[in-house]
């Protein structure tokens, strides 16, 4: 029996959960419920599509890699157990989770939602040091919204420093014309200006590279997109920060797997625990970062 057949036999749920061959031969899962659909890869636990009310909410790069040892560009990369560059030179940016194949742990379905739980077995990780003793799990729940919970337990005997982000690439009509009112007036560290601190002015008007780490992240954030006549709602838990990122037209050209022709159609809003807001996870302690996403017509 092929791996796909085995997955579908053990975990498939009629038209609600299926496993298929995705790009680059990677294993794709498709969740469907309440008229909404999510597609993602076991590789990285990476969601690449969320169609809500018939509209795609996530931006994917048409030039993304779909091969092991390379991250997927777009959708929702899971940055874990560190966000940004590693403190150890030899380790990859944004952690090893987005470069690791997850396994299916469980699934269920009722009249409200379909759920899928993925896990990363510690033995599957080829990284040095203590990080190997983190047991990682991703729970996805799709109904009228998409909820995702990234969890980890420190199963080692030493405290581990963890940073993380749900690096969500949203599809927007024009990044210069969207706004995120919940972040107005909040202070942020600007990664494009050597982490200098500024206060966010209103409206956002993103017409150049933006790479901002907001402290005191609100748990309810709305991405207003008048061009698409919609607002995307992001409710998060467990994040100390919100990161807002768009590489800008110039830098986008230099990112090999980034479809620069659609740079103005994306904006990342990332619930995160970053920089000085790292979590110190004692032995046996657990970490959780979560978000729930959905869209509504603007004005409603």
Residues near ligand BG6, by CB under 6 A: 71, 93-94, 165, 167, 191, 211, 243, 245, 270
* Upper half-sphere CA count for residue 101 (Cβ side, 13 Å): 11
Report, in Å, the least distance between residue 241 CB and ligand BG6: 10
The two structure tokens encoding residue 77: 């990369």
Report, in Å, the least distance between residue 232 CB and ligand BG6: 18
Report, in Å, the least distance between residue 59 CB and ligand BG6: 13
Q: Given the complex with ligand BG6, which of 29 and 214 has the nearer CB atom?
A: 214
Q: Given the complex with ligand BG6, which of 39 and 270 has the nearer CB atom?
A: 270
How far is Cα 232 from Cα 220, in angstroms, rounded to an integer?
Answer: 11
Inter-CA distances, 59 with 98, 199, 207, 231, Å: 17, 27, 18, 15
Report, in Å, the least distance between residue 71 CB and ligand BG6: 6
How far is Cα 242 from Cα 224, in angstroms, rounded to an integer?
Answer: 16
Q: Given the complex with ligand BG6, which of 70 and 173 has the nearer CB atom?
A: 70
Report, in Å, the least distance between residue 93 CB and ligand BG6: 4
Q: Given the complex with ligand BG6, which of 17 and 274 has the nearer CB atom?
A: 274
- Tell me the H-state helices in 137-228: none
Q: Is the peptide bond before 236 cis (omega within 30 degrees of 0)?
A: no
Q: Given the complex with ligand BG6, which of 8 and 215 has the nearer CB atom?
A: 215
Place of tokens 């931006």: 59
């Amino acid at each position: 029996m092929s791996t796909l057949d085995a997955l579908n036999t053990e975990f498939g749920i009629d038209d609600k959960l299926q496993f298929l061959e995705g790009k680059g031969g990677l294993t794709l899962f498709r969740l469907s419920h309440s008229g909404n659909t999510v597609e993602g890869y076991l590789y990285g636990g990476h969601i690449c599509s969320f169609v809500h009310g018939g509209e795609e909410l996530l931006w994917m790069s048409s030039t993304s890699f779909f091969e092991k040892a390379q991250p997927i560009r777009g959708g929702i990369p899971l940055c874990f157990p560190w966000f940004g560059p590693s403190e150890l030179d030899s380790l990859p940016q944004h952690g090893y989770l987005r470069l690791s194949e997850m396994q299916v742990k469980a699934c269920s379905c009722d009249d409200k939602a379909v759920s899928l739980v993925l896990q990363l077995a510690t033995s599957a990780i080829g990284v040095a040091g203590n990080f190997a003793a983190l047991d990682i799990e991703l729970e996805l729940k799709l109904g009228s919204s998409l909820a995702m919970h990234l969890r980890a337990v420190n199963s080692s005997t030493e405290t581990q420093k963890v940073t993380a982000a749900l690096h969500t690439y949203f599809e927007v009509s024009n990044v210069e014309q969207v706004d995120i009112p919940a972040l107005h007036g909040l202070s942020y560290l600007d990664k494009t200006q050597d982490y200098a601190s500024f206060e966010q002015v209103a409206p956002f008007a993103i017409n150049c590279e933006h790479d901002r780490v907001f402290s005191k992240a609100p748990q309810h954030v709305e991405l207003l997109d008048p061009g698409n006549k919609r607002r995307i709602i992001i409710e998060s838990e467990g994040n100390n920060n919100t990161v807002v990122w768009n590489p800008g037209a110039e830098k986008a050209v230099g990112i090999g797997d980034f479809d620069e022709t659609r740079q103005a159609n994306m904006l990342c809003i990332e619930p995160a625990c970053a920089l000085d807001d790292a979590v110190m996870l004692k032995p046996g302690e657990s970490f959780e970062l979560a978000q729930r996403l959905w869209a509504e017509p603007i004005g409603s």
